[in-house]
Each structure stands twice: as C-alpha cells, then as structure tokens.
Amino acid sequence: MRVRGFYGVIDVAGPPARELADRLILAGAQVLQVRLKGAPASVVLATARLVRELSSPAGVGLVVNDRLDVALAAQADAVHLGQHDLPLSAARAALAPVRGRLLVGISTHTPAQAEVAARAGADYLGFGPVFATTTKVNAEPAQGVDALAEAVQRAYPVPVVAIGGITPQRAEEVVRTGAAAACAISAVNSAEDVIEAARRIAEAFARR
C-alpha cells in the first residue's frame, strides 16, 4: 500500500458503507480507512471485509482504525493507531510474524510527536488537526500548515497524511507542504456531491 493522494474514510456501516466506498474509489481515493468509533468489533469487521472486496480490485489500500485484531482478520493493509491506543512498540511486536504485510500508521498532533513516531518505526503518520475540525470530539488544537510542513520535514522519509479541517478549497495549500496525502471526512462524506468533493482533493495531489 502506498500512502498518497486522497485518503478517504468510511464512517458508516451496512449498505451505506458500500455506496460511500464506491463513490470514494470512483473519485480517485488511494486509501480507505474504516473508522467506526464505538461500534462492536463484529460491525467493524463486516464493514472492513465489505470495503476490502471493493478496494482490492481497484488497487486501493484498506486501513482499519484502532483495531489491530480486526485489521488482521479483514486482511487489511494497515492499522491506524492514536496516541492513546495500543503503543507502537506493542503493535510492532504483535505484528512481527506478518511485518511488512500489515503496516502501522500513527496519529500525531505536533511536529515533535511526528518525529518520535517516525523514528520509532511507524510506516506512515497522520498529522493534525491542521485546521479546526468538528469531526472529532475534544480535538487537539489546530496546528496550521506551517506545523504540517515542519512535521513532514521531521518525519522524512515516512509519509505524512494531513487531517483535520481539510476541504477541497484547502487541498492545494496542503499539497504545498509536502504532505503525502490528505484525509477529509465531513467535507467529503457530508458534501452534496461526494464524488466531486473527493475528486478535487485527489486531483490537487495528482497535479504535484
């Protein structure tokens, strides 16, 4: 899996998950993350398997948020862990037998955290919120594009995904920081035209 371009998020289950995944793949998403906060493991697994069926033929990476066990069961490409989830060292130890098949992404909120996670062996980083966001409850303070650019430099060569308040209108600004990808949730998933919103972000990276 290559972390680049538009990084989409599946935040619904059941038939709506299939519809959303279809739209994001059509729009040019390179990665899809299943993010179902508070959902039972069985629901997350069923959703991840559904998305896997769609993403594999399209060459789109599949990431499962928070749940290492579900990521393994769904044959995902990566698991994404937050600062308060399973520690990176523990995840790497658990994944030793399949290291290389399942990547580990880490959420970071400051350039210093980005550097620490990169040096500790994370395969890619989420950095944010870059701008103010309403998607996440009790979100960290917005860091801005200058901090994003610093995080990219300090984490190099580990790819960085910009997240938090990303919109199609801000995509070019994010691209200029050197970030490998951008993740937008509400600005895409709640847009009147989901495909067009996602495509604009994907195309901003394709022009780089």
Catalytic (active-site) positions: 35, 107, 136
Name the residue among 68, 33, 38, 69 with its Cα closest to residue 52.
Answer: 33
H helices of 97-143, where? Answer: 111-120
Distance CA 10, CA 18 (A): 9
The Cα–Cα gap between 194 and 196 comes to: 6
Dist CA 188 CA 141 (whole Å):
22
Residues 6+ apart with CB under 8 A from 169: none
CB 192: neighbour CB atoms within 10 A? 6
Distance CA 180, CA 158 (A): 9
